[in-house]
Chain A
Amino acid sequence: ELKVEQNPLFLSMQEGKNYTIYCNYSTTSDRLYWYRQDPGKSLESLFVLLSNGAVKQEGRLMASLDTKARLSTLHITAAVHDLSATYFCAAASSNDYKLSFGAGTTVTVRA
């Protein structure tokens, strides 16, 4: 069974500084997703990473995937208050249809 671990679970960021969230998964996966969730809301898709070495960037967020290390990272550049939310990574393998989610990283950006 595919297991996904995120760390840290809680991250207090200072505005303007850079931070990284890590996502490790236990078995072979060829799909890695990052989602954002605001309190009481649904999941907003941020990135889908489909191959080793894939890197995607949108604004202050950049995600990468290393399938050999079974690791994905979400890098936040120059944090701003609007980025306060819970971030989830999820993985799936090619012969499996379900997403296995991590526990989430709750991000709070302070001035």
Chain B
Amino acid sequence: ETGVTQSPTHLIKTRGQQVTLRCSSQSGHNTVSWYQQALGQGPQFIFQYYREEENGRGNFPPRFSGLQFPNYSSELNVNALELDDSALYLCASSVQGAPDTQYFGPGTRLTVL
């Protein structure tokens, strides 16, 4: 198992609500990336955080936002939830500049009703 943890494990929300997902990096890792994996598909990059700032973003609307804290943990916030937001949300921590250090957490399964 990796040292990356995520909470909660599962979450059920209704359309229009807001949700916050959390990720704790593996010890020594300073970069966190978030991915969305819809059922039966490959993960899609949402954004990455390094030194508490967004370091790149995929094709996701502004209602997807994030934070990184001084201890390198991170949050993913999604506002105005839509049915299509139902997915497995994965965070991956790594050391900036060391591509072979990236490890994924167990994921949060979000269901939007």
Q: Is the CB of A43 within 8 A of B48?
A: no
Count how many chain B residues have C-beta atoms less than 8 Å from C-beta atoms of the other chain: 23
Once the chains are docked, how many angstroms separate the CA of A102 from the CA of B58? 16
Identify which of residues 71-110 in chain B touch chain A, using a CB-to-CB cut-off of 8 Å: 88, 90, 99-100, 102-107, 109
Q: Is the CB of B43 within 8 A of A48?
A: no
Enumerate chain B residues within 8 angstroms of A25, measured Cβ to Cβ.
Answer: none
A48 to chain B, nearest CB (A): 4
Kindly list 9 other residue pairs between chains A and B, CB separation below 8 angstroms, not including A41-B106, A101-B42, A103-B41.
A4-B42, A42-B105, A42-B107, A45-B102, A45-B104, A50-B99, A97-B31, A98-B48, A99-B102
Interface residue ranges, B against A (CB under 8 Å): 31, 33, 35, 41-45, 48, 55-56, 58, 88, 90, 99-100, 102-107, 109
Interface residue ranges, A against B (CB under 8 Å): 4, 31, 33, 35, 40-45, 48, 50, 88, 90, 92, 96-104
Can you list 20 A-B contacts with CB-CB less than 8 angstroms, sorted by A residue number?
A4-B42, A33-B102, A41-B107, A42-B88, A42-B90, A42-B105, A43-B43, A45-B102, A48-B99, A48-B100, A88-B42, A90-B43, A96-B56, A97-B48, A98-B48, A98-B58, A101-B42, A101-B44, A103-B42, A104-B41
